[in-house]
Amino acid sequence: MLFRQLFDPDSATYTYILADAETQEAVIIDPVRDQVERDTELIEELGLNLLFVLETHVHADHVTSAGVLRQRFGAKTGTSHHGGPDCADLPLRQGDMIRFGEHAIEARETPGHTAGCMTYVTADQKMAFTGDTLLIRGCGRTDFQQGDARTLYRSVHTQIFSLPDDTLVYPAHDYRGRTVSSIAEEKAYNRRLGGGKTEEEFVAIMAELKLAKPKNIDEALPANLRCGFASDETMSGEPVSELAWAPIVRTAGGVAEIEPEWLVAHRDEVRVIDVREPHELAAGRIVGAESVPLGTVRATSKGWRQGEPLVMVCRSGGRSGRATKELEELGFRRVASLRGGMMTWGAKSFPTEA
């Protein structure tokens, strides 16, 4: 089985991709909207057929990209039937199996951090994706989103600690650089739940926590109840149009894009920047495009006029999307990413040069 663990540093969130090596059918767990271009690029590079987007709970610290990935790949979104968003395709219940190729994941209801928390366990019980219910040496808070300390304690002991000791634990977050634990480790060393702590001891520990309000909760919760879309975006994930120097559409991930057909018609009116690595240009680039690898964009752009129209290009749109957002942060307002990158450009047989 193919397995990838990805990380969003802003929210300290782990995203997981699992796929069948033969059929390429895949599942992604807890994707982050700010990382949707990264995840899209990896899924496309690996040739995966994304079937399911699974959420361990309705997050309060980041916005999910579930709806965007459903739009892009036709994947079905799955969350708990209890307390999950109405826009989800699969309202999951205890014991439901999510199948991809020869593999499967079991959904286990583990409320307590929120009322709708789920833990996903591979069919061979080698891996458990515990969300915020069980963290490495800790657990999620229980003081909001219908959280309850007693419920969390019972969820962990009946649904997670009941797994084999060698089951690997993959949480939704870690703030100290730890990537994985095991059931045996957490039963022994978890500071809130391990070491044989009783339910009463755990309840007392949680009652003493004085935690600040999650900084992104006001944005994250409403958006996550809409599968990651803000109130001014369509639930289907259709891009939101905006008036600009070109017929720009802004993706659900916030990237300004233009269509290849527009660039063909207006090539002489814009500056095209190819952010691929130099060795990738041998396969062809847009006529007149300048080579500025992604890692050098920030430094090189110091010599560009901020009012000049710029079109960023890469292989499939992921890197050019990141470059576009970076330039916008630097004050550029007439910048867009070429939708679909050189893959779409070439598929349409638009002109290139060596």
pLDDT tens digits, 23-66: 999 999 999 998 998 999 999 999 999 999 999 999 999 999 99
Q: How far apart are CA 117 and CA 112, in angstroms?
A: 7
Helix (H) or strand (E) holding 274, with range, is strand 271-274
Does 142 reside within a domain? yes
pLDDT at 231: 57
The last residue of a domain, from among 158, 192, 224: 224
Structural domain of 322: 240-353
194-252 tens-digit pLDDT: 999 999 999 999 999 988 888 778 888 888 888 887 655 554 444 444 445 788 888 86
Helix (H) or strand (E) holding 170, with range, is strand 168-171
Distances (CA, A) of 16 to 5, 11, 54, 73, 257: 5, 15, 10, 17, 27
Does 231 reside within a domain? no
Residue type, 214: P
Does 271 reside within a domain? yes
Q: Which residues of the chain have pLDDT under 70?
A: 230-244, 252
Phi and psi angles of residue 65, each rounded to the nearest 5 degrees, phi first: -105, 20
Closest CA to 108 of 167, 68, 51, 66: 167
Helix (H) or strand (E) holding 324, with range, is helix 318-329
- pTM: predicted TM-score of the whole model, two decimal places: 0.69
The last residue of a domain, from among 224, 249, 269: 224
- For residue 152, the domain's CATH number is 3.60.15.10
Give me the helix-helix angle, 36-45 and 66-73, nearest 10°: 30
Does 122 share its domain with 14?
A: yes
Does 230 reside within a domain? no
Does 235 reside within a domain? no
